[in-house]
Structure 1
């Protein structure tokens, strides 16, 4: 497995791959890898000649410095997990200075409003940080295909918008959410949960599944009120938001339409740890 920290080295390797007309797959991560990440890597390996995986905790997408400081980091374990899948992977693990060249600030982006709802509403500047680092990674790795999990569905839609508006020649592929046996969506943050918290957090997906059933016969407003009430009785969980939105605009809906596709989105605090999840409704 080759590990790079320098962008100039990657340029040489990518130039050689492009000269041979080899396809490049790319899986951007913030490390603390789990089975969900590994599934993305396996999909990339199955469909590309060469695959890069980046491991970089991006400071500009954290609006909470405490959250950034506590974000789990274990590069040695990440390398071990990746090597167990394939020794042919190429790993990009840059420093903050290498990524931002001494100027650790976000560009400002216009994602046609996708950035102002849900995560964007509760985490100011988050998607400017995401857009900045993903655009930079795409410029360095120059992949043909890039793979992102649907747990961060809003991020997935924003990255598709980024690629479209900035004419970046990469195919964005969304991959299904991987879950623990309890139904809890796999997340790097799960490693910070106590056993008691993790058991309680399984309630999030259980509630989403029931909300999906209710959405077949009840209005979006009725389902939202029901979900909100369920969390009032959860001692360890604090609901930040539950929203039913159009998958294209990500705007909260008032009335259902048979011609539209919807998802339910949720953010919940388990103690000080913030978890997100979503589910397709139709």
Structure 2
């Protein structure tokens, strides 16, 4: 496994790989790897000759300095895991190389269609940071494929739009959310849950599943009533709700009554930890 932390070295390596016509798969991460990342890597190996995992805690997507400081850095442990799974290259650049000037003066990439609603409204500037670093990684690594989990569904849609509108010749491949046996979606944020919160957290997906079942069974006229009852149940369990509603899978707008592409998206707080999850109700995509 080749660990690269300098952009000029990465560029030379990419030129050599491209000369061999080998397909490159990119798995972008911020480190603190879990089984969800491993599943993405295994998927990448099915599509690609060379798998590159990036590890970069991106300051531009944090709208809270404290959250940035608290984000777990486990680079040594992550590299040990990646060696076990025969990853070809780890790209872990220095912040000053990625953002040579102050971040406030940094050229950025933004997808205006979806970046300022839902999670984007709750976390101003977050998706601008995501799309900027992803664009940089795409430019540097020039992958044929890039792999993302579906837990951050809004992020996945935004990256697909980014690729289409900026004419990247990259195929975005997504992986369904990886969960613990109790249903909790895997996330680096889960490390911030205390022992009591870890017992409560699985109720989020249990309530999401039950809500989706009820929405399928019942008439459209009581959609909002079903959603409100689920919200109340979440609050009773100890969650604080930012987002819990149904949206069109393609546009993230309120779905029409006859829509066949509906997803329930949840973004909640449990103590000081933000948890994201979703479940498609109807989908043709």
Q: 2:230 aligns with which of 209, 227, 232?
A: 227
For the aligned residue pairs, the C-alpha RMSD in angstroms reads 1.4
Q: Secondary structure at the match of 1:151?
A: coil
Any idea what SS the aligned residue of 1:268 has? strand
Residues 48-70 of structure 1 show CA distances to partners (whole Å, capped at 9, x for unaligned) of 10010000010011111111111
Structure 2 residues without counterparts, runs of 5 or longer: none
CA distance in 2, matches of 1:108, 1:23: 28
Aligned 1:39-118 pairs, distance under 5 A: 39-86=39-86, 88-105=87-104, 107-118=107-118
Shift of 1:113: 2.2
Contact 2:111 2:131 in 1 (8 A): no
Q: Say if 1:96 and 1:104, in contact at 8 Å, map to a contact too.
A: no
Q: How does 1:155-170 map to 2 (within 5 A)?
A: 155-170=155-170
3-state secondary structure, aligned to 1:281: strand
Distance in 2 separating the partners of 1:277 and 1:124: 19
Question: In structure 2, what is the equivalent of residue 134 of structure 1?
Answer: 134
Q: Give TM-score, length-normalised by structure 2.
A: 0.94
Aligned residue for 1:233, secondary structure, equals: helix
- In structure 1, how many angstroms separate the alpha carbons of the residues matched to 2:110 and 2:139? 19
String of CA shifts for 1:12-33, please: whole Å, max 9, x gaps. Answer: 1111111110000000001110
CA spacing shift, 1:94–1:214, aligned 2, 3 Å: same
Alpha-carbon distance between aligned partners in 2 of 1:109 and 1:139, rounded to the nearest angstrom: 12
Q: Corresponding residue for 1:245? A: 247
Corresponding residue pairs, total: 278
